[in-house]
Amino acid sequence: MSVPESSRAGWLGAASVGGVLLLTGCGATVPGHPVAGEAKTVQAHVAAGLEDLLPTQAQFPARYSVVVLPPEAAAQAAGDLAGIAHGAVVHPTGCEPPEQRFGPDQTAIAIGTDGEARATVTVQLARTRQPLSALREQLTRCGEIRVNQGGAITTVATQLDPAPPIDADDSIALRRTVIPDLGGVGLTQSMQTLLGQVGDVRITVTYMTFEASSKADTAALDQLFTTTVQQVQRG
């Protein structure tokens, strides 16, 4: 969710500058041979620790200054990247972000900040048993939502793009804007995100800016997504 400069200081400032797939059955008998359906939960496990799989400062483009967030800051950062802070009321119902666990080896986040462009590239790794297809299904029906966080109302619009070709179990590309009802210059949050999944690790790489005229650094986005997926594959 888009937040004022003061409340973004917890994680964006620290970087020096930011549903479950519903499977329903059918009572009718269908002739023919059964076909294997999509898995409801992920079984494969990546053994390496998540923080060890994050890209390092040397793997980010040189203009980005990188910090790895402590667990207590990761929850706020994850909420900002989704445009929905923890505890916010979302309409329509069913469009709330999937439950995410925070703590050691549950979520790891590295943020690279380009102070001159007033933009960040964030790499998030999260443990999940939910296949990425469940998120895709949710995003397809939740293209525009309204979010109420303590009386502050925002509109979060998400558009799916063609999935990036990557050696992963699944992948998604999306663009997202977070627009506050009581907005102003520099308060609209624009994001471009690539997601992939390898076993029980979901990789999310997001370029975020508050400058309306700024073009996304797609080269850095692609580079960091590819690098991170490859590291998780080796993990």
User: How is residue 203 written in tokens?
Assistant: 């990789």
Q: With contact defined as beta carbons under 8 Å apart, do 115 and 65 qualify? A: yes
Q: Could you read off the pLDDT tens digit of each residue along the chain, which spans 235 residues?
A: 333 333 343 444 444 443 322 222 333 333 333 333 455 788 899 999 999 999 999 999 999 999 999 988 999 899 999 999 888 999 999 999 888 999 889 999 999 999 999 999 999 999 999 999 999 999 999 999 999 999 999 999 999 999 999 999 999 999 999 999 986 656 899 999 999 999 999 999 999 998 766 789 999 999 999 999 999 999 8
H or E element in which residue 6 lies: helix 5-8
Residue 35 belongs to some domain of the structure: no
Q: For residue 63, tell me if it sits in a domain.
A: yes
| Tokens, residue 95 | 């469009």
For residue 184, the model assigns a pLDDT of 62
Provide the pLDDT for residue 25.
33
**Rounded-to-integer distance, Cα 133 and Cα 179, Å:** 27
CA dist 16 and 191 (Å) reads 19
- Residue 32: inside a domain, yes or no? no
* DSSP β-bridge partners for residue 84: none
Q: DSSP class of residue 36?
A: P
Beta-carbon contacts of residue 195 (< 8 Å; ≥ 6 apart): 132, 135, 171, 172, 173, 174, 202, 203, 204, 205
Q: Is residue 168 part of a domain?
A: yes
Give the per-residue pLDDT at 98.
Answer: 85
Note whether 125 and 228 are within 8 A (CB).
yes
**Has residue 15 been placed in a domain?**
yes
Task: For residue 228, give the H/E element and its range.
Answer: helix 218-234
User: What CATH number has the domain bearing residue 139?
Assistant: 3.40.1000.70
In this prediction the pTM is 0.82
Identify whether 34 is part of a domain: no
Tokens found for residue 233: 């594959």
- Short-list 173, 176, 180, CA closest to 147: 180
Note whether residue 226 is domain-resident. Answer: yes
60: containing domain = 5-22+41-234
Q: How many residues does the chain have?
A: 235
Number of compact structural domains in the chain: 1
Q: Give dist(CA 59, CA 75) in Å, integer.
A: 24
On whether residue 164 sits in a domain, the answer given is: yes
